[in-house]
Amino acid sequence: MMLHGPQNLNLKQMAITKTWEINTLERELADGYVKKVVYRVKGIDGSEEKARATGEVTLEKPESLIPYSDLTESTVLGWVKTKLGAEEVTRVEKWLEDEITLINTPVTAEGKPW
């Protein structure tokens, strides 16, 4: 007997991980002020990167600066997410999830039947 439907599929559902990273920083040499951050967000399904979003933010100069050599990726990612706002961070991460879902379960195809 052949079963049709989800109970007959041996699909392994992986968790999608969103990894935020800093690509590069633009800074003023005189004082180390970071004025622009280019970031990327990787959408990883299992151990495979399947989608990526990139963007940049321009930062206002704060009254006091953290020395450039003391900056960490974690600190700068905090600035990026604050500048983007929670709604945009959520939108970017949801877009990655949707893209990976579409890659894993396509709804369209190209080609010819011959």
Question: What is the C-alpha to C-alpha distance for residues 60 and 63, in angstroms, rounded to an integer?
Answer: 10
70 is a domain residue: yes
**What's the domain count of the chain?**
1
Query: Does residue 7 lie in a domain region?
Result: no
Domain assignment of residue 75, yes or no? yes
Handedness of CA 43, 85, 78, 71 (dihedral sign): positive
pTM given for the model: 0.81
Identify whether 1 is part of a domain: no
Nearest to residue 67, comparing CAs of 30, 37, 107, 13? 30
Note whether residue 44 is domain-resident: yes
* CA distances (Å), origin 97, targets 12, 46, 62, 113: 16, 13, 34, 31
Q: Determine, yes or no, domain membership for 113.
A: no
How many CB atoms sit inside 10 A of residue 88's CB? 13
Each residue's pLDDT, cut to its tens digit, for the chain (114 residues) gives 333 333 334 445 568 999 999 999 999 999 999 999 999 999 999 999 999 999 999 999 999 999 999 999 999 999 999 999 999 999 999 999 999 999 999 999 999 999
